[in-house]
């Protein structure tokens, strides 16, 4: 089975996000890695665009933190190695992730994978920003809270002051290895921060890691999600069914009614044959691409899994 993300074309036009969506498709079709959620296919109808990607049923790390799961140091160390390999791959593609956090790290039955999307280029970022976020994520997985206390509405200047003045607390129970790694990732000076796979591999703490085995998913994970559970908050799915103005599960009836009202004979039509109306997005079939494979699609509101990429020209 696969997951399917869908985006309403009219809303993309209204929010001026058409360019971002095209960029997302162009980036994702060129990515394939064991620790990235891989893009398989895309298609469209008269209302929506659809992207078919890997289906991961283990939930995201944020959900498991909220369920009071305690991640051991060895498990977090393993996650750091896997995410570092994914970041190394993205860097070779000239891509900055920009949003590494527990919410965006999804689990299958073997290992964490990143689900990535594109939301426009932002100036002022370098590859080091992803390694800062990796440090924040590792700290939160170990301690159950972030190293810095701040709110979403905290002004930017106060955030910067906090980073410079506050010092994260490293629990005495942690090993000296992890306590030496985290400050190197959480270094405010990007020039002194660990920001590449080679720098990470040079650390004594990771000298025992078999990187080929990690890449090939040959190391048993320290944490396995319960396959008998949903591993997500069902309210997110209910929200789509209740609050969405044009929910996907009612599309068939909605389009049938639209066809009757237009006086059509009900025969299938291709999107590009529709005349473009004001504010309507009609995408050339040449833009919609993917691997030609037989797939069984599991529809879900994967829009809530969006994270941001920044491609470097």
Q: How far apart are CA 205 and CA 179, in angstroms?
A: 10
User: Closest by alpha carbon to 247, among 237, 257, 260?
Assistant: 237
Using DSSP's 3-state secondary structure scheme, residue 158 falls into helix
Bridge partners, residue 111, by sequence: none
Question: For the range 154-157, what are the long-range contacts, defined as Cβ-Cβ under 8 Å and sequence gap of 24 or more?
Answer: none
Sign of the CA dihedral running 157, 161, 162, 164: positive
3-state secondary structure of 309: strand
Contact 282, 274 (CB under 8 A): yes
CA 120 to chain centre: 15
SS3 label, residue 89: helix
User: 309 has which bridge partners?
Assistant: 118
Q: Is 99 a catalytic residue?
A: yes
Residue 166's SS3 state is coil
User: What's the rounded Cα separation, in Å, for the pair 280 and 166?
Assistant: 50
Is residue 286 classed exposed, middle or buried when 0-12, 13-18 and 19+ CB atoms within 10 A define those classes? exposed
Query: Residues 48, 60, 99, 130: which is the catalytic one?
Result: 99
Q: Catalytic residue numbers?
A: 99
């Amino acid at each position: 089975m696969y997951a399917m993300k869908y985006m309403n074309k009219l809303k993309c036009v209204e929010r001026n996000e058409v360019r971002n969506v095209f960029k997302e498709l162009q980036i994702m079709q060129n990515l394939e890695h064991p620790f990235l959620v891989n893009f398989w296919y895309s298609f469209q109808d008269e209302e929506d665009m659809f992207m078919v990607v890997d289906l991961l049923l283990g939930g995201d790390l944020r959900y498991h933190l909220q369920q009071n799961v305690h991640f051991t140091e060895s498990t977090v160390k393993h996650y750091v190695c896997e995410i570092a390999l994914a970041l190394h791959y993205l860097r070779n593609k000239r891509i900055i992730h920009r949003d590494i956090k527990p919410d965006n790290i999804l689990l299958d039955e073997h290992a964490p994978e990143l689900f990535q999307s594109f939301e426009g280029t932002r100036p002022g970022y370098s590859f080091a920003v992803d390694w800062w976020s990796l440090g924040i994520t590792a700290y939160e997985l170990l301690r159950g809270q972030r190293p810095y206390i701040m709110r979403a509405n905290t002004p930017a200047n106060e955030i910067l002051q906090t980073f410079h003045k506050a010092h994260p607390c490293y629990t005495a129970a942690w090993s000296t290895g992890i306590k030496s790694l985290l400050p190197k990732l959480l270094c405010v000076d990007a020039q002194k921060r660990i920001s590449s796979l080679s720098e990470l591999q040079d650390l004594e703490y990771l000298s025992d890691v078999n990187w080929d085995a990690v890449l090939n998913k040959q190391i048993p994970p320290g944490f396995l999600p319960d396959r008998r559970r949903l591993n997500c908050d069902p309210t997110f799915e209910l929200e789509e069914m209740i609050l969405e103005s044009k929910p996907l599960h009612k599309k068939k009836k909605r389009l049938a009614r639209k066809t009757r009202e237009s006086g059509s004979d009900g025969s299938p039509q291709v999107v590009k044959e529709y005349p473009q109306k004001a504010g309507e997005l009609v995408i050339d079939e040449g833009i919609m691409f993917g691997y030609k494979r037989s797939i069984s699609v599991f529809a879900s509101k994967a829009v809530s899994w969006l994270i941001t990429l920044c491609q470097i020209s």
